[in-house]
Chains A and B, each alone.
Chain A
């Protein structure tokens, strides 16, 4: 009976943990994409210093979130995003505007992809 209770509790807790991780992931990625959009907009408005400040803020927040994300997201997926962030900073430093916009789109796509791979959908399950 004790083991049965443990089993039922486990089958209740696991979906709750998964749901919590999905909510966390969705919130984090939405926040991160918003921050990239802000940096992109600052660059379009030629506010170079603000762009760099926003990118630094984004990078710091990403580092904090990455620790949690690494517990349930494949590390290779996070590595791709890390590479893109490093590239984005470098493009901002060298004032390569067209490269910066392109990399912003790549990073946003990669961050949205983190949600996509974890989403309960037929193509992910099958």
Chain B
């Protein structure tokens, strides 16, 4: 039991590190090869975790090999377009100018129910509301509405609107991030002045953000009473 516990901790740290090395795509949307690696890694880690008679190395070596192969493969796909198309496939157009491409759907074994479900999830009732629908290589459907179904934008209305900046989190749950303060182009004096104007200390702030326009959002911490 104790051995399983220690092995589980070692493999947990190892697999978390492995997923971190492979990058963010493994955590979000998976390409076919990445899905294979993710499934295999979980299996490879589970076997030596439970079977104490199997050397830990016999789980670690295959995981390391898979990570290395995956990194090399993704590097190759980055350089070679042909390899990329061969490994990850190409996006497929399922709806073109409101018309469903039945041949393509048959080829992809994508049912009409699947298509309608995806359209509803995107907020469209039927293919007639859609200009293009593209099945991406990660299995997600990108839907582009027809002109009359497009939401009105400020550009269409010839309205001018201020450019919004990306907000930077300066204080998160009472913890000040100095690198974020630097990247926002602010200093400690500005921070202290901003907070003292609201009679706050950094540790009493739940969230503080600032965007490139200088718009500051401060949410003070709520004092939670024991129930």
Contact = CB atoms under 8 A, between A and B. Distances in A.
Interface residues of A, number: 17
Contacts of A18: 61
B72 A7 contact: yes
Interface stretch (B32-40, B52-60, B193-201): B52-60
A4 B75 contact: yes
A24 interface: no
Contact of B55 (A3, A10, A14, A72): A72
Contacts of A6: 21, 68, 71
B77 to A, nearest CB: 12
Interface stretch (A29-37, A57-65, A73-81): A73-81
Contact of A10 (B53, B54, B68, B75): B68
A11 interface: yes
Main SS class of interface, B: helix
Interface in B47-97: 52-58, 61, 64-65, 67-72, 75
Nearest to B21: A3
Contact of B72 (A11, A14, A70): A11
Output the residue of A7, A18, A71 with the most chain B CB within 10 A. A7
B72 to A, nearest CB: 5
A8 interface: yes
A72 B21 CA distance: 25
B54 A11 contact: no
A10 B52 contact: no
Contact of A14 (B23, B58, B61, B71): B61
Interface of B: 21, 23, 52-58, 61, 64-65, 67-72, 75
Interface of A: 3-4, 6-8, 10-11, 14, 17-18, 70-76
